[in-house]
Structure 1
């Protein structure tokens, strides 16, 4: 490319990126304007006196009403019921001044004939609240600033109510033995919809600028994921309200406990309750956080106004301790840093979210950089989907699990094509050891290391022979690496998940299960030994494989028979045991599933049409937050767009050769099936037996193996493209993610108004 052409290309790219950023900026402004029109200047009322049967006309020297305010209670204004005596006035203005006990003016507001109607409550508000440190009485003085066409009246009680006297003139005037019909404005949305939307403009405009610029320049996809992912992930930390991300309240307790442990502080009480700082205690509970414009506003205000210290946790919270610490070190690091700086609760939460986001980005950027060139676009698109970035922008440990699985898969695919350096071997074993215990259902992914040719895993630099001898066994060093990888993964998986596995098999004969496991391990050792003896003889190897297939069929059939007759079933009385909420006290266990295979199959078949669409939304991220509590579903058009981008990036270019052999494709398919079955088994394990569909099954559980599914699609070569579309697809995913966040923000904000 000539120099003038390069200059034109750079100019076009910069102009396109700037236009995209400006468009997103104005889009954020429009969202803010739209929300302001719908949600702005909306008060929340608290009734102080609802007893009224007379009308008191406003005299020339005005009226003074006393109201009581508790310590820490926010005062945004008052709401009074006026009477125009059935007339429509054309002129007039009433002033409302509110002073505290020290005589300081805390609010001054006016109302004219345009917003005061007959027998209607009218609010007088201030955008900034007055919050007393101690309980006190406020004085509300009403007077005419511009004379009205006729008498202006206010509804009041006959007799004083709750020590709130109404006086003529100022506070020293004569008592009227009455109390106005008055309501306290306890909260006020004001201009916060506009302010909050404008806070999203900078990160989202920066994401659009980076995405367009880097896509047009065909910059390395790892750089695109790092820049765009940071902007979009940070904006997700703002869009998702506190403790509204999936199970975030549980993750907060676990990370908080680990941060206390690092600080050498007592983390929990003897009865297992989490200890927290005094300023954090009101925010800790075992429920999902609030949503709506007032929840957004409260969190933004709290970041500014709440004060905390670096004191050790001393308050007993509602949260339980011991909810896991292995996968929370990044979130705990952010929380520890915030606590050491004396930050308040919401700022501390933000620190933890950002730390989790950085961990995710490090892992997925490494995955994109390590992956083969033809797969980098695929990993980039999956990494930039709304769901993984939403998880990364929260305290969810799933973000680290996703990043680790993506990096493991990318490394395995690279090592299929080239020999491993020693650091890659260490990384391979380390990732397998990290993935397996992180979440039990992803253990089958570790089997992907078997798709790597053994000769590519030889740790020796200049081997004299391809094989090594270990006693009577002769094998390739790469096989030993694969064995070590699998053994490390299985051992750590068993340590981390043995208790959960025992619980799932609670109604089965555990001694018999242990004997079967030992027998299976012994049989596997015998089969490996037989394979080493017959692999050099094609005829014997052929019969060995046939025998292996027959043995597998017999093992499945025999296992189903034994498991369905192992242990006792539930009695009719036990089947009828119901909790107060209507759920059965029993959930699907391994034994119950085996004894009731038809019923289990019926439940799964009912679940698929009812929840299949929600699973796809959860996989892509077009349903936000915790869907069991809040269904925040963005437009289905965005979901279709994201799906099309994934399909596009999975299409191979015409000149590309298949990445997987037929055997490797079968292995990857088997891994996918195993993960899906493990996910379904896990969901069944917490589904009561009287349910007709699965409980708690979410599409995000399948997100770690989405690259494998797309890889299989890419390997089929049913449809090809003229040239790769990786950068265009990544740009499309980024922009759709941006739109998902903007619509999600609007839906979060309007929840209380439409619910």
Structure 2
């Protein structure tokens, strides 16, 4: 009877996915009726087949093979050997599908990350990377991604590089600014060999070899863009077109994320299913399959969390290479976003006795701290100084064209700070929840949505994965759970504070720009800290929960494709 019920669950998921795909095919047909792009139905059917196939394979290993059930004769050995491999299949497979359903430069701030990776690629390949004004230089054939309608007017500078005039820059439309049917049509038309507006490209090339980008690169460590830059460099060396260049950069970023996820899953001593659950959220997968440097942050924070928990609860001694790894992770991820510095406090979970001597503990703590501090100083010293010394007169929010909050103002008016935090949590909690799970994808486009019911389904899945199951031993003490809660609250608080100072005008009653995706790096360890003896599952349902998350992602993918097809 048990085998039949398990098989029924697998079949039910597949049938529900097929029904959802059939329903949304009506939207695809409606879009084709308006545009005549009949090829979209073929791609939709192919997408549906891939979604169903991936879900079936994952469901087979999760449910039929029962690879990490606590009822196995040797559950720990099976978990260590099998679940990380399944993570590669789930995260990698779903990530590739998100990569194509949501095309390049559609993710949050992705064009700035693309430009930053492009600059590093130029450095890798020995090409000019910046003009005399600090702007990133692009090949003439790649400039169209910033100017789809050909509105740019170019003027050569003293070095022969082309600069875009300020007047023509304002009305230009960039790729991915609004993801609609025309974007799909564009990529389908160009394919792997086509060149966008070849006449315009030839005209630009006749004026100069390189064009200065209108988007500034992100001020952060160049290490955050190594995977993307490798993909771009490979496409440039092979002489491929811009479409391939964009997809190669994204694909390499996704591969890096999957590799780091696999290493994290191998290292973390418990809570593997929680880590995998966070990794396959729609927002996580969308970011992983983009140019975003959030991939580097997520990857490093996941691995840092896994190493700290492994050393705290599993390993008997701390080796030198463990300390070196923690220092490297802190140095790489730290400069990307300073607000995650409190996560380094996870290192304090490691008992001092595991270092052998007290002096070894102090040396290790100093090594990790100095690695983070030096990286912060080298990359962000100017930014830190600017915010720290800014007065009320200096604070100005450019996008709102009005004064902003300063540190000195908040120090002298702590009630104002508390009020802004309180009102933000009270009024914007739902938006932060949606943007953490992935209810609004693309550039937080509310049209490209995953229904709020599905968002709650993902949320309940994460909570279910975090609960204690029969026979499971809770490794964290109450004191450790409180400490982890404090660290996560500190990260969230610093995130909100940074957006209050950098992005919020004084006229606003809430902190603007706070997105739930900023909480993803510390979400796994926060969920693990919630595990307790009071609220427990009576049965081990982790494998079924992960299968449900896979099905929910499949539904999101077919729904998103159909939405883009009818968005004319």
TM-score normalised by structure 2 residue count: 0.83
**Corresponding position of 2:378:** 495
Change (3 A) 1:599 1:665: same
Match runs of 1:549-568 below 5 Å: none
Looking at structure 1, the residues matched to 480 and 556 of structure 2 have their Cα atoms a distance apart, in angstroms, of 36
Secondary structure of the corresponding residue to residue 276 of structure 1? strand
1:281 to 125, 134, 143: 143
Change (3 A) 1:660 1:747: same
Q: Deviations over 1:679-705 (max 9, x none)?
A: 011111221122222221100001111
Secondary structure of the corresponding residue to residue 472 of structure 2? coil
Match runs of 1:244-263 below 5 Å: 244-263=106-125
Looking at structure 1, the residues matched to 336 and 218 of structure 2 have their Cα atoms a distance apart, in angstroms, of 16
Looking at structure 1, the residues matched to 9 and 468 of structure 2 have their Cα atoms a distance apart, in angstroms, of 28
Change (3 A) 1:423 1:224: same
Change (3 A) 1:422 1:732: farther
Match runs of 1:151-162 below 5 Å: none
Looking at structure 2, the residues matched to 610 and 633 of structure 1 have their Cα atoms a distance apart, in angstroms, of 20
Looking at structure 2, the residues matched to 489 and 591 of structure 1 have their Cα atoms a distance apart, in angstroms, of 26
Looking at structure 2, the residues matched to 398 and 610 of structure 1 have their Cα atoms a distance apart, in angstroms, of 26
Match runs of 1:388-407 below 5 Å: 388-407=284-303
1:301 to 189, 213, 228: 189
1:330 to 227, 249, 254: 227
**Corresponding position of 2:26:** 34
Once the two structures are overlaid, the 10-residue window that deviates more, 418-427 or 634-643, is 418-427
Looking at structure 1, the residues matched to 212 and 93 of structure 2 have their Cα atoms a distance apart, in angstroms, of 37
Change (3 A) 1:307 1:718: same
Secondary structure of the corresponding residue to residue 320 of structure 1? coil
The offset of 1:29, in angstroms, is 5.2
Q: Deviations over 1:553-584 (max 9, x none)?
A: xxxxxxxxxxxxxxxx44xxx99x997x7x34
Change (3 A) 1:271 1:189: farther
The offset of 1:30, in angstroms, is 4.7
Matched, 1:242 2:130: no
Looking at structure 2, the residues matched to 355 and 701 of structure 1 have their Cα atoms a distance apart, in angstroms, of 22
| Structure with the greater alpha carbon radius of gyration | 1
State the structure with bigger RCO (CA 8 A, min sep 6), 1 or 2: 2
Query: Hey, which of these two has a bigger chunk of helix by percent?
Result: 2
Looking at structure 2, the residues matched to 691 and 632 of structure 1 have their Cα atoms a distance apart, in angstroms, of 27
Matched, 1:750 2:566: yes
Matched, 1:616 2:437: no
Secondary structure of the corresponding residue to residue 213 of structure 2? strand
The offset of 1:380, in angstroms, is 1.2
Q: Deviations over 1:169-204 (max 9, x none)?
A: xxxxxxxxxxxxxxxxxxx44214313323423432
Query: Hey, which of these two has a bigger chunk of strand by percent?
Result: 1
Matched, 1:604 2:425: no
> RMSD between aligned alpha carbons?
2.9
The offset of 1:631, in angstroms, is 4.8
Looking at structure 2, the residues matched to 603 and 487 of structure 1 have their Cα atoms a distance apart, in angstroms, of 33
1:203 to 50, 70, 73: 50
Secondary structure of the corresponding residue to residue 484 of structure 1? helix
**Corresponding position of 2:180:** 292
**Corresponding position of 2:344:** 446
Looking at structure 1, the residues matched to 406 and 209 of structure 2 have their Cα atoms a distance apart, in angstroms, of 39
8 A contact 1:617–1:623 mirrored in 2: yes
Alignment gaps of 5+ in structure 2: 68-81, 148-172, 199-204
2:278 to 382, 386, 401: 382
**Corresponding position of 2:127:** 265
Secondary structure of the corresponding residue to residue 644 of structure 1? helix
Secondary structure of the corresponding residue to residue 656 of structure 1? coil
Secondary structure of the corresponding residue to residue 315 of structure 1? strand
1:702 to 499, 519, 523: 519
Length, aligned pairs only: 514
2:66 to 218, 228, 240: 218
Secondary structure of the corresponding residue to residue 489 of structure 2? helix
Match runs of 1:639-654 below 5 Å: 639-654=455-470
8 A contact 2:224–2:293 mirrored in 1: yes
Q: Deviations over 1:499-534 (max 9, x none)?
A: 2211222335xxxxxxxxxxxxxxxxxxxxxxxxxx
Secondary structure of the corresponding residue to residue 688 of structure 1? coil
Once the two structures are overlaid, the 10-residue window that deviates more, 436-445 or 312-321, is 312-321
Matched, 1:349 2:246: yes
**Corresponding position of 1:94:** none
Q: Deviations over 1:416-449 (max 9, x none)?
A: 1222455434323322222222321111101110
Alignment gaps of 5+ in structure 1: 43-187, 459-465, 468-474, 509-568
Looking at structure 2, the residues matched to 255 and 578 of structure 1 have their Cα atoms a distance apart, in angstroms, of 27
Secondary structure of the corresponding residue to residue 615 of structure 1? helix
Looking at structure 1, the residues matched to 89 and 209 of structure 2 have their Cα atoms a distance apart, in angstroms, of 37
Looking at structure 1, the residues matched to 123 and 18 of structure 2 have their Cα atoms a distance apart, in angstroms, of 43
